[in-house]
Chain A
Amino acid sequence: MDWNAFNLSLQLAAWTLALLLPIGVVTGRWLAKTQTRARPWLQAFFALPLVLPPTVVGYYLLIFTGTRSPLGELIMSWFGVSLVFSFPGLVVASILVNLPFAILPVQRAFEVVSSELYDAAACCGMTPWQTFTRVEMPLAWPGVLSAAVLTLGHTLGEFGVVLMVGGNIPGETRTLSIAIFDRVQAFDPLAAGQMAGFLLLISLVTVALGYGVLERRERRRRRST
């Protein structure tokens, strides 16, 4: 069992969640409320990672942010960090690939908050921030939780884009899913199977917990109607 790889997987999931969740909430909420005619295009754009193979995303990231690209050189000179074959690069890639998981459930959740409630809140004297914390979030948080659980589960298992963008660097980009692949290539099916089973268990428990919370809330809501 490669604990180092597991630690990397956890860190990747944690960083992705921490950075992507606010992005997802802001974007999802905006998409739910905006009237712009470009909305279907924007929705399609954010849903792209669902349709594209992760290796394609990884490929383009490599091309556009690799050390040979102008963007990559810029980032290297500004921050001294490379976005390919490094952990920060994995985080960036992971954020991109998980965008649809973070945005879509949130968008659906905020769509349920009718415009009448916004009007009522404003006429109760609530500032926009108060409206957000006391009316919108209490009604939309299941969507946010859904987004978090999906992102988490998806990142733990992410393989294609991690391999493309990160390579297989132990201690840096060899996440658990990559380590499993590595063990298979080394003709070590036992270790591979062990780690795969572990990953399966962790993912299952995480997602089940998340849905358990949602289920409880749904049941409570249904009982009161």
Chain B
Amino acid sequence: MRNWRTCIAVLFFWSTVPFYAVPAFANGPLIAAAASIRPALEELSARYNQVTGQSVRLVFGSSGTLANQIANGAPYALFLSANTAYVQWLVDLGFTQGVPVTYASGVLALYSRPGLLVQTENPLLALGYALEGGTIKRLVIANPEYAPYGSAARAALEHAGTWAQAKQVLLVGANAGQAVQYALEGDVDVAFVPMPLARLAELQKTGHLQALPSEAFPNVELDQQMVLLRGADQKTREFFAYLQSIDSREIFSRHGLGAPQVN
């Protein structure tokens, strides 16, 4: 009877609590970056903070998803992709500022459970044999539609002529990070993963990890490009510059990324 009034009162009280609760977060510029360079970028931003006292906010996802978000108005200031195609797409749509810069060169690695593949110099060949022999139950790649490492993986399989067979045991991760996760925790036989993430997850301890040369996936490049976006301010530009410094090169390469190929 009177209960409902107390009920409403309690609800309203409860609902106003957060408004005088925890104070705001540090507001550095938003950096959108491919999931595959997470460990490298996290170390970089920590270093940046140490050196300059400035902080940035990092958001990770698959490059395609992030590019889409940017096109839909996401308030990111800087975009680090795992390839050039998405960056170019944004440039063409007019969402960028200035010229895109290649900051590193991606490395696609093939992970396999111990003893599954014959040890050869051409791991893709060994993979082909294993697929034909039916010993592979599950093969993971990132989503080729919007994750550069995924499309590189597909290109590699197609080039080796084993895509059709691979499709039958294929497991697709939403982004490169998820692919690594499946490799780590799922019951997975083979995975195509970015080297930096694979190293972070220490996949080399649970199986065989081997980098693939860029010739293995022709027509797909993993030139990691970054570009300033429309909302970029001075702080962003400073971080952008830092990402091209020697410091950054060193950190990138330590995490398993190649130096940027200058054409």
The docked-state distance in angstroms from the alpha carbon of A145 to that of B4 is: 9
The docked-state distance in angstroms from the alpha carbon of A39 to that of B200 is: 56
The docked-state distance in angstroms from the alpha carbon of A68 to that of B24 is: 29
B4 contacts across to A, CB distance below 8 A: 137-138, 141, 144
A168 touches B11 (CB 8 A): no
* CB within 8 Å for A10 and B18 given contacts A66-B72, A66-B73, A187-B184: yes
A11 contacts across to B, CB distance below 8 A: 18-19
B73 touches A84 (CB 8 A): yes
Interface string of A126-158 (1 = CB under 8 A from B): 000000000001100100110010000000000
Residue B99 interfacial (CB < 8 Å) = no
User: Counting chain A CB atoms within 10 Å of each CB, which of B16, B24, B72 scores highest?
Assistant: B72
A208 contacts across to B, CB distance below 8 A: none
B180 contacts across to A, CB distance below 8 A: 187
A-B contacts at CB below 8 angstroms, number: 97
Interface size class of A (residues with CB under 8 A): 35 or more
B184 touches A170 (CB 8 A): no
Q: How many residues of B contact A (CB 8 A)?
A: 42
B3 touches A217 (CB 8 A): yes
Residue A202 interfacial (CB < 8 Å) = no
Task: Give B203 Cβ to nearest chain A Cβ, in Å.
Answer: 11
User: Is the contact region of chain B dominated by helix, strand, or loop, or is it mixed?
Assistant: helix
Complex: chain A residue closest to B12, CB-CB: A18
A-B residue pairs in contact (CB < 8 Å), sample of 16:
A7-B18, A7-B22, A68-B71, A82-B75, A84-B72, A85-B69, A85-B72, A144-B7, A148-B11, A167-B59, A169-B30, A169-B57, A169-B74, A171-B25, A186-B38, A217-B3
B73 touches A168 (CB 8 A): no
The docked-state distance in angstroms from the alpha carbon of A11 to that of B23 is: 12
User: Counting chain A CB atoms within 10 Å of each CB, which of B14, B26, B71 scores highest?
Assistant: B14
Excluding A170-B57, A213-B7, 4 further A-B contacts by CB distance (< 8 Å) are: A14-B14, A84-B74, A169-B30, A184-B181
Task: Give A155 Cβ to nearest chain B Cβ, in Å.
Answer: 11
B177 touches A17 (CB 8 A): no
Residue A114 interfacial (CB < 8 Å) = no
